Amino acid sequence: MAQAQSQTKHGDLEEEESPTSTLPRREGWWRPFVLFHGYWFTPQALESVKIVQAQFQPRVDDIILATYPKCGTTWLKALAFTVANRSRHAVTDDSHPLLRRHPQDLVPSLELPHRHLHPVAELEVLPSPRLLGTHLSFTLLPAGMSTLGCRIVYLCRESKDVFVSTWHYMNKIQKDFNIELDRAFEFFSEGFSIFGPIWEHNLGYWKQSMIESDKVLLLKYDEMMTDPIKHVKMLASFLSVPFTAEEESAGVVKEVVRLCSFENLKSQPANSSGVSDRIGGLPMENSSFFRTAKVGDWRNHLTEEMATKLDCITEEKLKGSGLTF
């Protein structure tokens, strides 16, 4: 990973000290976004990214769960936590952490909540091996990760469903903010979305997974939904905690899938009620992370013309890469 990532802009990140005000800026979402090394952030999120870049100390056994927003982040966190910790927390235990706590709280994120409000030191006290989430592109990950060879699990999703989920979520961020579907669609199609463009985000991890498949595991949301047992076993092997023959015969893999299922997680009080601020100054209902999780939900929102447009953009952006949805 070190050789491949040395060709990215990590060096530029260290040298660049330009204030946010000098970066390309665009309005339209709940806050103005700024463009940093090809990706869109709120100024607050970018400040957090820069703090992580400067202060986060990777460890060789860190496991990073990376996603573009609204691609199954909460599900991936639940699955990875359950698989990695099943020796301490039996999957069938009535007091399993997933039955009491939100998956987003069991696997903390690198850049969220914003690190100028919640210092990076909070991550340093976590015991190894750490499970950490991020929405950062591959090129914006802390440089030390490439040197140490930290393992990365990247979950991606078909862009039409990502857009619909993004649109619903963005209209929950602030009570005084609402964006029409058509306007949000144009923004998303132009690559103007938080942590986006989505296609460059996907490609960065896809290309690295082709170079170092032992360090970067790329999963596709639609395929996981179709065959979760197969992918949970794949995830366990990648995390170096494969299921034993005894576990498989005892139905442990199926229990992991059941415990982490959308229906089960959504029904838990920690996920269905209450309000938490996991961003920094943007408290949201815990249920905001659980909408439908359905593959193909875009059909209930997009016209045929909109779907075709986004399909064509996706095909053009990913052309020649080998990545398809």
Give the residue numbers annotated as catalytic, written as ranges.
135
The strand pairing partners of 134, in sequence order, are 66
How many CA atoms lie within 13 Å of 87's alpha carbon, on the beta-carbon side? 7
Dist. CA 122–CA 79, nearest whole Å: 23
Phi/psi at 275 (5° precision)? -130, 140
* CB 275, CB 284: distance < 8 Å: yes
In the numeric block, which tokens belong to residue 256? Answer: 């992991």
The total of other beta-carbon atoms located within 10 Å of residue 101's CB is: 14
Residue type present at position 7: Q
Dist. CA 224–CA 219, nearest whole Å: 7
Dist. CA 177–CA 282, nearest whole Å: 12
Q: How many residues does the chain have?
A: 325
In whole angstroms, how far apart are CA 294 and each of 29, 41, 244, 300?
Answer: 25, 27, 31, 11
* CB 33, CB 115: distance < 8 Å: no
Coil, helix or strand at residue 219:
strand
Token look-up 């592109």 returns 137
